[in-house]
Structure 1
Amino acid sequence: MFSVLIFSFLGLFMLLIKNRIQKKIAAKAELDRKMAGLELQSLRSQMNPHFVHNSLNAIQYFIQRNEVELSEDYLVKFSKLVRLFFEYSRKQTLTIEEEVTLLENYLQIEKLRFEDKLSYCINVDEKIDKEELQIPSMLLQPIVENAVNHGLFHKKGNGLVTVDFKLIDSNTYMVTIKDDGIGIKKAKEFYKNSVKNYQSSSTIVLQERLSLLQKSKNWEVTYSIEDLSETNRGEGTEVNISFKQKYL
């Protein structure tokens, strides 16, 4: 009788372990499915019709002004950015070097479109190994896009976007994206008749991706956004996002 109880207990214990393992496998599969879907959403948000339309209009504008070299330069940069979007959207992570390349190409196109109204600066801490340190893919560009389109687009005069990568420790770093535009409060006033317009598709995808990264247990990510005019720190918006890669 005692041996029967022991075997029954062991059988129940093994069943519980099996069910727990199956639940973990199912949860991971669901998370992977959501991440794959979100990668496609990220690509769609970055290749949004407004950006493509504005870029093609700019190329046409330069052609009409008979600025052939400028239009060719714009077209080459635009083609390279499209290729990078498709290439990087298939990856879960990028190196810092790849991320900087993507941001450089995006900002170069926006700088051409804004015609000297836009300046940018990307700084990488010299302690960071750009070829080794990883970052979740398709995450920073939507933030930079918001800085340009919501922060600087409605500003009178020139605008500046800065992106700073700073090493915190061996596997933790901070990225600060700052613009000297009109700030969050004023930007919302431009879109007060439609909250949906201010909450762009890139912003929504960003929020979902941050949430999934936390659930993936591979990254510890903190995110904050601040209207500098409300803290007497000048004008514009500052986004701070820290990344800590967990080694399981």
Structure 2
Amino acid sequence: HNQTITFNELDPDQYILEVSVMDQHRNRTVKALHIQVTPLWWQTIFFKIAVLVTLFLVVIFLGFIFYRIIKKRERVKSEREKRLAGLELQALRSQMNPHFVHNSLNAIQYFVQRNEVNLSEKYLSRFSRLIRQFFEYSRKNEITLAEEIELLKNYLEIEKMRFEEKLSYSIDVDEALAIEEINIPSMILQPIVENGINHGIFHKDDNGHLQISFKKIANGGLQICIEDDGIGILEAKEIYTQSKKNYRSNSSQVLKERLELLKQSKNWDIHFEIKDLSEISNASGTRVTLTLLTTHEN
């Protein structure tokens, strides 16, 4: 008789094998045999847990790698865009109005021809200082408010000497402003002041005044108001239309491009508003209001 029992492909577990035996007297005896099938190493619960944990860690690791790759691409793109914006800003800042340079040189020549040595030397000294400021600040993205005010004063003094009594100006600074510690985009105000003089006060019959005010506002912001009592935007456009010239100042275009690039850099929250005073009062002139709020630490 075959005394071997074969069980194929039993799953790892515990089994009970009952064997029934009948003797010659037909007496039946049942025997129970406990059998334990030991799992192979790759069938153990620990191995299965280890596989699941490994798969989970692999998924987490791959997710982290993809996240790092995406963030790196975004960072590189952002840095490239900021660098591009910075290069464009630097190029725009270096564009000193050639008409101003030409007029300044003519003014120096005029003083020399009239043998006004002191005035010519004073004018030349201020003009040289302004040129140095332009070149120095053009290499910076930001300068202190004190430096910007100093540049404006120097520029206005030069224009005041050229226009003589026709031009006066005032600069009011809020006492709450720490002008030596506050940074602003470099040379952003000079084009506005230039427009106020060349397109507003220059065409006025009598003397003109330009006022610049700096005021601290909520959230650490800065409000700058530049107002002239010239002929205003509307009348200036009419004059340029009648003379068949386009009313488009190069400095205005540069300013618009600079403001747009500064917004794209995401470092500044900027609001720009320009109004003809005749539209809101009986006065003539132009008011430009610029609100700056930094979105990064100076």
- TM-score higher than 0.5 here? yes
Residue pair 1:151, 1:187 contacting (<8 A) in 2 also = yes
Please provide the CA RMSD for this pair. Answer: 1.8
Q: Give the unaligned 5+ runs of structure 2.
A: 1-50
CA distance in structure 1 between the partners assigned to 2:72 and 2:264 by the alignment: 17
After the TM superposition, which residues 95-134 of structure 1 pair with which residues of structure 2 at under 5 Å, given as runs?
95-134=144-183
CA distance in structure 2 between the partners assigned to 1:194 and 1:13 by the alignment: 60
Residue pair 1:39, 1:90 contacting (<8 A) in 2 also = yes
CA distance in structure 2 between the partners assigned to 1:14 and 1:201 by the alignment: 49
**Equivalent position of 1:89 in the other structure:** 138
Equivalent of 2:287 in 234, 238, 241: 238
Aligned identity (percent) is 49
Bigger radius of gyration among the two: 2
**Equivalent position of 1:66 in the other structure:** 115
Residue pair 1:39, 1:138 contacting (<8 A) in 2 also = no
Identify, as 1 or 2, the structure richer in helix.
Answer: 1
Aligned length: 244
**Equivalent position of 1:208 in the other structure:** 257
Question: C-alpha displacement at 1:72, in angstroms?
Answer: 0.8
Does 8-17 or 56-65 show the bigger shift? Answer: 8-17
Equivalent of 1:33 in 54, 69, 84: 84
**Equivalent position of 2:71 in the other structure:** 20
Question: C-alpha displacement at 1:54, in angstroms?
Answer: 0.3
- Alignment of 1:217 with 2:266, yes or no, is yes
Per the alignment, in what secondary structure is the counterpart of residue 131 of structure 1?
coil
Residue pair 2:268, 2:292 contacting (<8 A) in 1 also = yes
Residue pair 1:38, 1:205 contacting (<8 A) in 2 also = no
The code of the aligned residue for 1:38 comes to L
Residue pair 1:74, 1:112 contacting (<8 A) in 2 also = yes
Does 51-60 or 198-207 show the bigger shift? Answer: 198-207
Per the alignment, in what secondary structure is the counterpart of residue 66 of structure 1?
coil
Give the TM-score normalised by structure 1: 0.92
- Alignment of 1:191 with 2:240, yes or no, is yes
Where do 4+ consecutive residues of structure 1 move more than 4 Å?
1-6
Residue pair 2:92, 2:254 contacting (<8 A) in 1 also = yes
Does 178-187 or 29-38 show the bigger shift? Answer: 29-38
- Alignment of 1:48 with 2:118, yes or no, is no
Does 92-101 or 207-216 show the bigger shift? Answer: 207-216
Per the alignment, in what secondary structure is the counterpart of residue 217 of structure 2?
strand
Per the alignment, in what secondary structure is the counterpart of residue 115 of structure 2?
coil
**Equivalent position of 2:25 in the other structure:** none
Deviations 1:51-88 (CA, angstroms, capped at 9, x unpaired): 11100101111111111111111100000000000011
CA distance in structure 2 between the partners assigned to 1:105 and 1:51 by the alignment: 13
